[in-house]
Structure 1
Amino acid sequence: MALVDTALATVHLLVGALWVGSVVFFAGVVLPAARAGELNAGPLESIGRSLTRGSRLAALVMFLTGGHLTGTRYTVARLTGTTNGNLVVAMLLLWLVLTALVEVGSSRLRDGVSQRKVREPAANALGFFRGAAAVGVLLFLTAGALVA
């Protein structure tokens, strides 16, 4: 069982890092370039679609692997009564917020890009993705505190 937990923890950490990294890149590089008119609607739509798909898959993998790891390591009393348990609960809440921000930002982007607009939808989505990037950083800080 320890081998399974190690494998799941590794997958959990890798997927989380790739997910947050892609959101940070999208918020810090892709959307500002689109807002400046440096991207056309076609590539922006394709990148946005890939990010949304990847985000949904990552959210599912994080839910499954994190759920398993939490279920094997924590009781309800440990989740609510210990610092590490509280950090796990905080990570779950941050994960939900990250997922919601990416979904709303992606929706705002899709609405305009489908009409072949770029600058306005990028500007409309940017705040949501910046928020998601900040939540991702908070997730990493919380994970670091959990490991420490």
Structure 2
Amino acid sequence: MTTGFDVAMTIHTLFAALWTGGTLVVSGAVVPAARRELLPTDGLTLIARRFWYLTVASVLFLLFSGGHLAGTLYTAETLQTTGRGHRILAMVGLWLVLAVTLFFGFRRLTGSQSGGAATAATKARPWFLGASGVSIALLVLAGLL
């Protein structure tokens, strides 16, 4: 029989994988293609908009499913005094950093497109590279749990 814990864990894992994987794809394939003028402005805007929807959904689902999991598995004391709790808190911090970094990356990617897709992608590149680093750190921490 499936429990609320199992459902929360499945949702949490699914959206964490989609979000971090999507971040790596946008950073490693979409932004470089746009910088090389292989992706038109309309295509870049469409991809960015779709990835933004995934980002918003992931933030919300990870917030609620992660809150449920943390409330089920941990107390405030165990989060603060155990190695596993410290890793969970580090993941929460990195989750916030990823959301903020992607927000600014999207602003650069879809903001002023007067210079075209290549210019927008060049401005967004540092933000998406940073988001990729944060995504990898989140995956490593998840693997350590």
Which residue number in structure 1 is paired with residue 17 of structure 2? 17
Q: Tell me the equivalent position of 2:88.
A: 88
Look up the equivalent residue of 1:29 and give its one-letter code.
A
**Maintained 8 Å contact 1:19/1:55:** yes
Quick one: distance in 2 between partners of 1:2 and 1:140?
A: 26
- What amino acid does structure 2 have at the position aligned with 1:24? L
Could you say which residue in structure 2 is the equivalent of 1:108?
108
- Distance in 1 between the 2:10 and 2:54 partners? 18
User: 1:50 corresponds to which residue?
Assistant: 50
- Counterpart of 1:27 in structure 2 is 27
Q: Secondary structure at the match of 1:112?
A: coil
User: Does residue 68 of structure 2 align to residue 68 of structure 1?
Assistant: yes
Measure, in 2, the Cα distance between the counterparts of 1:61 and 1:119: 32
1:116 shift after superposition: 6.4
Structure 2 distance, partners of 1:108, 1:124, is: 6
The amino acid that maps onto 1:46 is L
Residue in structure 1 matched with residue 118 of structure 2 by the alignment: 119
Tell whether 2:36 aligns with 1:36: yes
Structure 1 gap segments, 5+ residues each: none
Instruction: Give the whole-Å Cα distance in 2 for the aligned partners of 1:2 and 1:131.
Output: 37
Alignment correspondent of 1:141: 140
**Cα offset for 1:112?**
2.7
Q: Which amino acid aligns with 2:111?
A: D
Are the counterparts in 2 of residues 105 and 128 from structure 1 also a CA contact under 8 Å? Answer: yes
Q: Tell me, yes or no, if the aligned pair for 1:41 and 1:116 is still in contact at 8 Å.
A: no
Amino acid at match of 2:123: N
Q: What is the total number of aligned residue pairs between the two structures?
A: 145
What is the alpha-carbon root mean square deviation over aligned residues?
A: 1.3
Distance across 1 between alignment mates of 2:2 and 2:86: 23
The letter for the 1-side match of 2:137 is L
Identity between Structure 1 and Structure 2 (%): 34
